[in-house]
Amino acid sequence: MDRKTYLSIWSVIFLVIVTVGLRLLFINSAFWYDEACSWFTAKQIFPFGIMDNLLNLDLQHTPLYFFILHFWMKIFGDSEIAIRSLSLLFGVVTVPLVFVLTKKLSNGLNAVFATCIASVAPLLVFFSVEARMYPIVLVWVLLSLISLANFEQKSDKKSLISLVIFNLLIPYTFVGGILYNITLMLSYSVYLIISKKDRLFTYLKAVGVELACLIPYFALIVYYAKMRSLFIIKHEGPFVFMHFVDAIRNLFGLAPVNNVYWPSVDPYVLTLGFTLLVVVPCVYFLYGFVQGLKKSNGFNKFLYVLLLLIVVEFLITAICQINVFTVRYFLYLLPPFIILSVIGLAEKISSTHMKIVVALYCIVAICTNINYAIRIPAYKILAFKSVKLEAVNLGLDNRDVIIMPFGADAPYYFRDDKSPKVLSFDFHKEVRNPYNKVYYDKSQQERILKGETHQVIYDAVFSNAGFSDSHFNFFINNVNRYVGKGRYVLIALYGSDADALVPIEDLRKSVTSVQDIKDRGLEIMLKKYLFDIRAYLDFDFELVKYGPKDNYTYLLMKKK
């Protein structure tokens, strides 16, 4: 073993230790809503219970991550640390894979540089312990690219088989990963036509096998599209240019926005700190990527083009409101972007300059991660766990009921037998789905399927009854008759949802025509929903406490 190889091995080992240390800073924070959804799906019976949840409640994810998490929870339990440790495992594996791929595309020194950055990059650190599929699909993409590089260098069947396997794992783990597969199939075929026609037929046979194995995936997507096409309320908002700017900042900057889960349109203030933490690293990364794209050739040139095409596809789907342009959905592109940016940057600046840039990035990134780890636990508690803390503070138990219009479909913090009963109705999911028999009467469903959705809502707002008989019966049976005399119902309204708690007269004044329903569907339906549940509770309960706390507004109702 020569000296360079020896140093490289020990560098990677040291960086893996750093990787683990930084990611452990986040592993014991509270779950946010999506992570609780992972638990709820994975805890169902394998495989049919999991699939039933995906097909009837979730309507957006493929099952592989939840299958893996199901058995992981059986072995290690369902605490936050236990569930997140699965993601941690894959998050740590990412780092040596970055080294392997970079070395195949460039040299050992650039491999060390890219690995240093990947081990401390704030977005990779944060999402490496997210109880979601993102860290796993990131590993599949890196293994796919390594297999592709091997096939490029060796043209052997073993590399091609591994490429097909890892490519299949990507969309079955993360539904949006199919953009990677499709772009790779098309662009690499064009690349082979231009430069290596003798390999084209062999590759196309592998593509055929991959497409055949993806038939169940496409069938699932068609089913989801059919179901979601009838959603009462669209979840995806319009794309604006600031979403793209925000994504660049989160991917390459050293100070991610407070809420990295969703696109932000908050204005930026160009302070010295913002310039040093965000603008400078983004400029270096983008400059390196552009220079690499201009200077490279052959297979490396193809990889630069591949990443750009995938980003363009994400932009198109966001503009068409098929998807949301948020970084977690294309996080798997970040390690390849880091690798190619490092390769391009190393071609344009001196070795000393490069070492200084990487060293400063790592030092500041470590400080940023520590600071973020201090702040994020409070944010996550406010996002989901604070309802549990309030229930404990009020002394609620399994004789009581909690109503959460947001988050009720993933009652992670109320999972033990002594916890209050969480009403199994999440407004933001259940009300969007017209197939939901709990909220819609059969006659309403029939009218919705005929295209009379907005008229159905308009009629319900101006009726002298609740939204539907189905929801009235569900609520009375599961709340009013369940809670005994002297016991409690706690309504927990998340964030601005409390603004929707208005008298029915005010709601009706604000709805002058069916067009208002089309323009403000979510707002109007939430106001009607909250008015109805207050009206149902007023039959048997009295309000004993009302007010905001943390990021929730609470209404405590006592059975008369």
Residue 454 belongs to a domain: yes
Residue 323, both tokens: 């998807």
Residue 92 belongs to a domain: no
Compute the distance between CA of residue 182 and CA of residue 218 in angstroms, rounded to an integer. Answer: 12
Residue 461, both tokens: 């707002």
Q: Residues 274, 422: one domain?
A: no
Q: Residues 416, 329: one domain?
A: no
Residue where the block lists tokens 């779950």? 31
SS3 call for 411: coil
pLDDT in tens, 274-294: 999 999 999 999 999 999 999
Residue 541: which H helix or E strand, with range?
strand 541-549
CB atoms within 10 A of CB 294: 12
Q: Which of 318, 348, 378 is the last residue of a domain?
A: 348
CB atoms within 10 A of CB 373: 19
pLDDT of residue 240: 87
Residue 526 belongs to a domain: yes
Q: Residues 553, 427: one domain?
A: yes
Q: Which of 331, 348, 365 is the last residue of a domain?
A: 348
Q: Residues 315, 415: one domain?
A: no
Q: Residues 305, 406: one domain?
A: no
Residue 557: which H helix or E strand, with range?
strand 552-559
Which DSSP letter does residue 177 get?
Answer: G
Residue 187, both tokens: 């662009």
The neighbouring-strand residues paired with 545 are: 556
Residue 302 belongs to a domain: yes
The neighbouring-strand residues paired with 541 are: 559
Q: Residues 419, 538: one domain?
A: yes
Compute the distance between CA of residue 445 and CA of residue 438 in angstroms, rounded to an integer. Answer: 11
pLDDT of residue 512: 92
SS3 call for 492: strand
Q: Residues 430, 528: one domain?
A: yes
| Domain interval for residue 310 | 235-348
pLDDT in tens, 415-442: 999 999 998 888 888 888 888 899 999 9
pLDDT of residue 234: 65
Residue 168 belongs to a domain: no
Q: Residues 407, 484: one domain?
A: yes
Q: Residues 529, 400: one domain?
A: yes
Residue 14, both tokens: 């040291």
Residue 183 belongs to a domain: no
Measured between alpha carbons, how far is residue 180 from residues 34, 105, 142, 169 in Å?
23, 19, 12, 12
Task: Look at the chain and report how many structural domains it folds into.
Answer: 2
154, burial (CB in 10 Å: exposed 0-12, middle 13-18, buried 19+): exposed
Q: Residues 452, 319: one domain?
A: no
Residue 372 belongs to a domain: no
Q: Which of 309, 331, 348 is the last residue of a domain?
A: 348
Residue 10 belongs to a domain: no
pLDDT of residue 7: 72
pLDDT of residue 165: 98
pLDDT along the chain (560 residues), means of 10: 70 86 92 94 96 90 98 97 97 96 95 96 95 97 98 95 98 97 97 94 96 98 88 74 91 87 82 94 97 95 97 92 89 98 96 96 95 82 89 96 92 94 87 88 92 93 94 96 96 93 94 91 92 95 93 95
Q: Residues 402, 344: one domain?
A: no
- DSSP percent split of the chain into helix, strand, coil, nearest 5: 70, 5, 25
Q: Residues 331, 405: one domain?
A: no
451, burial (CB in 10 Å: exposed 0-12, middle 13-18, buried 19+): exposed
